[in-house]
A = this chain, B = another copy of it.
């Protein structure tokens, strides 16, 4: 399974980056990096292109021995017998921030984790998801994105769209703002029902369908007209993205506190962002329409 997952994430990274380099009309910066404690990764970042302010796609394969402290926070909720601190983790993680404020930021992450040899019940699991962060709400985009994800989930018995959609709304919550980061998508962790192969097939399907879920939205929105006010609102929303990632995101916190590769961890941050004191949106404005959805998530599919 380790090799199968590694092959998959590298191949998906290739495919996605090829697409970005076509629409962005530039090539990426690639960094092959190693982790002192074991393993490494391949980070690819686009910046200065036609479509994206910043777009990062990172693959990592890391292994080693967990500190007893880190081990406690691990395990996807499983209580493993603490004797085996060896771990193995591989995954792909991407965040694409478009220049056009009408085009949503997208994030996706698919990962596989093992403790020890990954053979015992609860010692292996998959996690991941994909979610959309628009600055302006286009309901048809939200429906399309959620529908695409639901179609994938429906094909796999280990997946449950309704549960994963709720999980996503709960995970990407910014308590101090009482709003979600975006309009959601799916999120799952500690997935180990059925066999490894069945879980992998679902995760692979998600990862390989990423472009199909996002590209039609991007193509439609990134050619729309926008003005300075739209751009300013985008920058304020980018600020919220930073707040979520630095204060609440578990992956980011874990990476910062465990000697991860900083530039790959913070690759998810937007190129630019803005914090205005007491910024308020106008009543019945497009900005307010977005905020309403971030405060009370909607069911996008009947």
Contacts and interface: CB of A to CB of B under 8 A. Distances in A.
Interface of A: 29, 31, 45, 47, 54, 56, 175-177, 235, 239, 242-243, 246-247, 256, 262-263, 265-267, 269-278
21 contacts: A29-B277, A31-B278, A47-B277, A175-B256, A176-B262, A177-B262, A235-B272, A239-B269, A243-B246, A243-B266, A246-B246, A247-B247, A263-B278, A269-B275, A270-B275, A271-B274, A271-B275, A272-B272, A272-B273, A272-B274, A273-B273
A165 to B, nearest CB: 27
Contacts of A29: 277-278
Nearest to A256: B176
A262 B175 CA distance: 11
Contacts of A274: 271-273
Given A176-B262, A256-B176, A56 B277 contact: yes
Contacts of A263: 277-278
A152 B232 CA distance: 43
Contacts of A266: 243, 275
Given A176-B256, A262-B176, A272-B235, A54 B277 contact: yes
Nearest to A176: B256
For the complex of A and B, 6 pairs with smallest distance between CB atoms? A269-B275, A246-B246, A45-B277, A176-B256, A263-B278, A272-B274
Contacts of A262: 176-177
B272 A267 contact: no
Contact of A242 (B31, B242, B256, B277): B242
Contacts of A272: 235, 272-275
A265 B29 CA distance: 37
Contact of A246 (B31, B56, B242, B267): B242
